[in-house]
Structure 1
Amino acid sequence: MKKSLFLLLIFSFPFFAAFSQSYLISNVHLVTMENDQVKKNQIILVEDGKIKQILPASQNVPNSGLTRIDGKGAYVYPGLAEFHSHIPVAQNGDTQLQEETMWLYLANGVLRVRGMIGHASHLPLKERVEAGEIPGPRLFLSGPSFSGSSVSSAQQAAQMVRDEKAAGFDHLKLHPGLEMDEFLAISSTAKELDIPFGGHVSLAVGLEASLKGGYKSIEHMDGYIEALIPDYSKVLDPKIAGPFTMLLVKEADLSKLPELIQMTLDTKAWIAPTLTLFDRYFGYKPAEEYRYIPEMKYMSALQVQNWINAKTPYEEAGVLTEENVKPYLEFRNMLFMKLHEAGVPILMTSDSPQVFNVPGFSIHHEIALMSEAGMSNYEILKSGSVNPAKYFDEDGEWGLIKSGASADFVMVEKNPLEDLETLKNPLGVMMKGEYYDQARLKEELAKIEANHKR
């Protein structure tokens, strides 16, 4: 059968052993992401976790010492990203949820993750993944967030930056509620220590100061609608503005948008749109309708109930009506495409695990929404491969299928440049030179489902 595509013809090594095997993957077509073309009928040689060589199928390759995988016409691409993740916290040393989350990402072809709410337990998780002790995607970690509740002064904010840099975090996450002096202290200290930062835009700071102050990424496209509202006093009143200024979107002055987009380009900021978060959390589909959708079986009943509880108050308050929500989501799609078409770089993000966004699975919802908004398949794939590597100044090291790059890639049945649905069903995943076939991925998903049996 086509779905059991990958037949290991030599299997004399343990299935999971860090970088111990060398692979010859034959009869595959490559979506390299160096351009939007497909390299047909190729062979990939993998050694020591790297792509050693890419050869045409006609090339003779020695068989000795290689584990052979016959792709039977599969397409290989560099995999996806979740660059706005809330990695679970290890409670009292219990890492079950963390390890499950790593598998949920891998089983959906998500090979790189940027954690955006940090915790000390994330650092040993990253170490274990990098050491090959547990399977998982490539992790980039933000520390505990900077917000109105965690920051008490400019001096304390600056020290918090130093502490997170010293602890080994890769990034800083800013939440709402920061005062201008606190933000400026974070910004100047982060620049001094060369650690990137981004997040929400605090109302007391605003989009312009955030961009000019050095935000590397604007999460959720936050701050743009607020910057377009002529009467900013309305933005400051949550009863008038609604969640994420939803209720004021019709008052946005679009004549100001080109200036904001140019400012985004000039400051070299990135956009993390998280379209699916707003479609699900702040959409008009009732919360209860998400309780039994297929991927919820990989979450605990308590987690799903907590998500329902988070959305229900907005429903009961009459905020999430179709009349309110539809123009808001349409505006966000327009804003997303205007930023993208102007050349602002986009990161693939879905904000998982967050309200009704199950790790891994939510990225496919994000992809569908990016496509519906008007983004091409190639640019969507780029947002999850080439762009994340560039974000952390590691372009060429991963996120591409080329000689010398890390052996991080996914095999699917069809050409994803033509069919995005094929991304939902990985036939095999190679992560830093470790191979997981479809049977193994499904086995791990079945274990997670069993752990959360209703």
Structure 2
Amino acid sequence: MKILLPLLLLASTFSLVAHSLVAQELTDPRKQEIVFRNVNVIPMDKEQVLTNQVVIVKDGRITLIGDARMVKYGAGALVIDGTGKYLMPGLAEMHAHVPPIDDIEPMKEVVMLFALKGVTTIRGMLGHPRHLELRSKLLSGEIIGPRLYTSGPSINGQTANTEATAIKMVRDQKAAGYDFLKLHPGLTVPNFNAIVQTAKEVNIPFAGHVSFQVGVWRAIDAGYASIDHMDGFVESLVPGIENMTEQQTGLFATFIGHQADTSRIPALVKGLRDHHIWVVPTQALAERWISPDNTPEALSQEPEMKYMSPNTLTNWVNTKKNLQGNPQYKPSEVRQFVELRRKLIYACQKNGVGLLLGSDAPQIFDVPGFSLHHELQYLVNAGLTPYEALRTGTVNPAIFLKREDAGLIRIGAVADLVLLNSNPLTNIGATQDIEGVCLAGRWLNKTYIQQGLKKLEKK
């Protein structure tokens, strides 16, 4: 897979309309006591709903959970009527992008769009020096948005074209304070090995793509923190892959997926599980960009596309058309490829491989915030239950990020919460019907969300 096209597309994507959203008019919104009254709680510790509860938040933490008939709270609290509503942990977008540019204003718009759709944590997968500043300002509350974990700038076959350059990039990014390294395609085996050895020496995780020359088995042995897009998975299932070129295989092996030997799936899944490799499927790319079962014109008319610039939409339409116009693109074979990815997701879930929710937004027809809800549906379509799908965006990211105070609704947990109007355990689509979002104790009510989304619409 080539790196230049996706990077160029991402660069053109970050042109959301330039509006600044101001904080709610509260003296110190994260310190105000918030009371969710008579609410149904989905704690996510197991598949259950606790009915008629009171949940109290103060100083950005959950301080009390109890029966609504018994719990008392202060007269000055902000009381939110949760009757008929469902409170769950906020979602994590574990393969997100924010603009890799010097101007922080477009970054603020993108992270706000995530937040307004119930995304309270993002893992930025294409780092930039100003993302370190953004991370700090999000944590302090100066900028409203999800908490951010950020990679350093892309490490790929062009930026790390020698072992010495690769080693320097790893050491520099560790010293700068990035959370992890992002690996992109094009790495040779020697350069990859230098990256892995140095990353382990300086103790910084690495994640992302699997370069074609490296292959998924070498990536598994190296100890990726996460393999994203299931990159390299399909190639490992295709007999004779060693005799093929990257150009022949297509994006994530789109053109050869129909040749896969599915009897190899158990061994692949066992390797991932035994080496504790997390997987971020980003199935939205396959279902929206790659699949022949939706047209670029129809996707470009979806309501959420109003948050993207006309130039971005034009690029997305043309990119999907170009893929479908490739002589190697045969709809019946591509459908087999998409179905194979669903089988891989299901096999990972059922065999103990950790799945993380991620959609690669903004990317081809994946709008920040909105696309994560599509991803949840695609996971359910692959065979996961709604509860299992929700875990990939709540409990699992907290485990991955080593956050014992996140991903669950319990006393002491950070108050990253989403209030929904119906039960997502019975219908995963309920995650899209948001009544309000709590960002570490800062409450964004429905009016605020609607006004914020209106400001972010393209002109």
TM-score (structure 2 length as normaliser): 0.91
Instruction: Summarize deviations over 1:97-149 as a string: whole Å, max 9, x none.
Output: 21221121112111111111111121111111111112101111011111111
Task: Kindly state the Cα deviation for residue 314 of structure 1 after the two structures are TM-superposed.
Answer: 1.6
Q: Which consecutive residues of structure 1, in runs of 5 or more, have no partner in the other structure?
A: 1-12
Matches of 1:150 and 1:211, distance apart in 2: 23
Tell me which residue corresponds to 2:386: 377
Tell me which residue corresponds to 2:169: 160
Q: Count residues with an aligned counterpart.
A: 435
Tell me which residue corresponds to 1:305: 314
What amino acid is the match of 2:273?
L
Matches of 2:73 and 2:434, distance apart in 1: 28
SS in 2 for 1:384: coil
Alignment of structure 1 residues 42-53 onto 2, 5 Å = 42-53=53-64
Alignment of structure 1 residues 142-153 onto 2, 5 Å = 142-153=151-162
Instruction: Summarize deviations over 1:352-411 as a string: whole Å, max 9, x none.
Output: 0001100000011111111111101111110000100111111x2111100001011010
Task: Kindly state the Cα deviation for residue 420 of structure 1 after the two structures are TM-superposed.
Answer: 1.5
2:286/2:338 contact within 8 Å kept? yes
Task: Kindly state the Cα deviation for residue 320 of structure 1 after the two structures are TM-superposed.
Answer: 4.0
Tell me which residue corresponds to 1:5: none
What amino acid is the match of 1:365?
H
2:97/2:126 contact within 8 Å kept? yes
Tell me which residue corresponds to 1:201: 210
Of residues 193, 199, 207 in structure 2, which corresponds to 1:190?
199
Matches of 1:311 and 1:293, distance apart in 2: 15
Matches of 2:218 and 2:242, distance apart in 1: 18
Distance 1:304 1:59, change over 3 A: same
Of residues 257, 262, 269 in structure 2, which corresponds to 1:261?
269
Instruction: Summarize deviations over 1:200-256 as a string: whole Å, max 9, x none.
Output: 111111111111111111111111111122212443241x32222222222222232
Task: Kindly state the Cα deviation for residue 158 of structure 1 after the two structures are TM-superposed.
Answer: 1.5
Distance 1:321 1:293, change over 3 A: farther
Alignment of structure 1 residues 284-303 onto 2, 5 Å = 284=292, 285-303=294-312
Instruction: Summarize deviations over 1:143-174 as a string: whole Å, max 9, x none.
Output: 11111111021122111111111111111111
1:408/1:432 contact within 8 Å kept? yes
Task: Kindly state the Cα deviation for residue 307 of structure 1 after the two structures are TM-superposed.
Answer: 1.6
Task: Kindly state the Cα deviation for residue 17 of structure 1 after the two structures are TM-superposed.
Answer: 3.3
Distance 1:365 1:235, change over 3 A: farther
Task: Kindly state the Cα deviation for residue 199 of structure 1 after the two structures are TM-superposed.
Answer: 1.1
2:258/2:334 contact within 8 Å kept? no
Tell me which residue corresponds to 2:126: 117
Task: Kindly state the Cα deviation for residue 325 of structure 1 after the two structures are TM-superposed.
Answer: 1.6
Task: Kindly state the Cα deviation for residue 291 of structure 1 after the two structures are TM-superposed.
Answer: 2.1
242-251 or 101-110, which moves further after superposition?
Answer: 242-251
1:428/1:437 contact within 8 Å kept? yes
Distance 1:255 1:43, change over 3 A: same
What amino acid is the match of 2:127?
G
Tell me which residue corresponds to 1:55: 66
Task: Kindly state the Cα deviation for residue 20 of structure 1 after the two structures are TM-superposed.
Answer: 2.7
2:181/2:207 contact within 8 Å kept? yes
Instruction: Summarize deviations over 1:78-97 as a string: whole Å, max 9, x none.
Output: 02121101112344x3x332
Distance 1:405 1:317, change over 3 A: same
Task: Kindly state the Cα deviation for residue 308 of structure 1 after the two structures are TM-superposed.
Answer: 2.0
Alignment of structure 1 residues 220-259 onto 2, 5 Å = 220-238=229-247, 240-259=248-267
Tell me which residue corresponds to 2:182: 173
Task: Kindly state the Cα deviation for residue 42 of structure 1 after the two structures are TM-superposed.
Answer: 0.8
Distance 1:155 1:266, change over 3 A: same
77-86 or 312-321, which moves further after superposition?
Answer: 312-321
1:18/1:132 contact within 8 Å kept? no
Q: Which consecutive residues of structure 2, in runs of 5 or more, have no partner in the other structure?
A: 1-23
Tell me which residue corresponds to 1:361: 370
2:416/2:438 contact within 8 Å kept? yes
- Which 4+ runs in 1 deviate beyond 6 A? none
412-421 or 266-275, which moves further after superposition?
Answer: 412-421
Alignment of structure 1 residues 4-153 onto 2, 5 Å = 14-15=25-26, 17-91=28-102, 93=103, 95-153=104-162
What amino acid is the match of 1:379?
E
SS in 2 for 1:427: strand
1:234/1:241 contact within 8 Å kept? no
Matches of 1:290 and 1:364, distance apart in 2: 15
Tell me which residue corresponds to 2:432: 424
Distance 1:151 1:90, change over 3 A: closer
What amino acid is the match of 2:67?
P
What amino acid is the match of 2:59?
D
What amino acid is the match of 2:92?
A
SS in 2 for 1:72: coil
Task: Kindly state the Cα deviation for residue 44 of structure 1 after the two structures are TM-superposed.
Answer: 1.0
Task: Kindly state the Cα deviation for residue 310 of structure 1 after the two structures are TM-superposed.
Answer: 2.3
Tell me which residue corresponds to 1:404: 412
Distance 1:16 1:235, change over 3 A: farther
Give percent identity, aligned residues only. 39
Matches of 2:27 and 2:133, distance apart in 1: 20
